[in-house]
Amino acid sequence: MTQAKKISDSIITMTELVLPNHTNQLGNLFGGQLMQWIDICAALSAAKHNRTICVTASVDRVDFHHPIKLGNAVTLIASINRVFKTSMEVGVKVFAQNFREGTKIHTNTAYLTYVSVDNDGKPVEGIKAIPETEDEKRRYDEALIRRENRLKDRKK
């Protein structure tokens, strides 16, 4: 198994079109639909990095900055923030684009934790992540703080 991989190698970009069955009565994307897309994109990033099946352990938070409207293209960009022993944090940024208006806005941010597992569902050690850019190093450091807070909350 590879000892470490660059964080940039874990990037997954996914684009979805918001259709009528994805929206509420106001024409806004259902939060649950967006969360499904976030989970898929983040799971793919974790699996790409670790070359294993990766299962969702927790969703730390999903911040909703702006509504996403019917007809928007939704682009999700996920990458590993940090790998611990068997778990890893994945960050996802979500953007909504209106092609007719030529606009693109950052609508959501999410942090999720995944666990690498073998074919029997047993946790396996993850491949370490190497941050290279200043942004990756910042996200790497912040992931440890979020993990410590998650573990504290678990003990309550």
DSSP structure class, residue 9: G
pLDDT tops 60 at residue 77 = yes
Contact 89, 147 (CB under 8 A): yes
pTM, whole model, 2 decimals?
A: 0.93
Beta-bridged to residue 66, according to DSSP, are none
pLDDT tops 90 at residue 156 = no
Contact 100, 87 (CB under 8 A): no
pLDDT tens digits, residue range 15-54?
999 999 999 999 999 999 999 999 999 999 999 999 999 9
pLDDT tops 80 at residue 79 = yes
pLDDT of residue 60: 85
Beta-bridged to residue 58, according to DSSP, are 113
Say which CATH number the domain at 17 has.
3.10.129.10
Domain ranges, residue 134: 4-155
Number of domains in the chain: 1
As a whole number of angstroms, the distance between CA 58 and CA 23 comes to 25
pLDDT of residue 2: 58
| 95: number of Cβ within 10 Å | 18
Contact 74, 34 (CB under 8 A): yes
What value does the mean pLDDT take over residues 117-146? 96
Q: What does the mean pLDDT of the chain come to?
A: 95
As a whole number of angstroms, the distance between CA 44 and CA 46 comes to 5
Q: How many helices and strands in the chain, by DSSP H and E?
A: 2, 7
What value does the mean pLDDT take over residues 64-69? 94
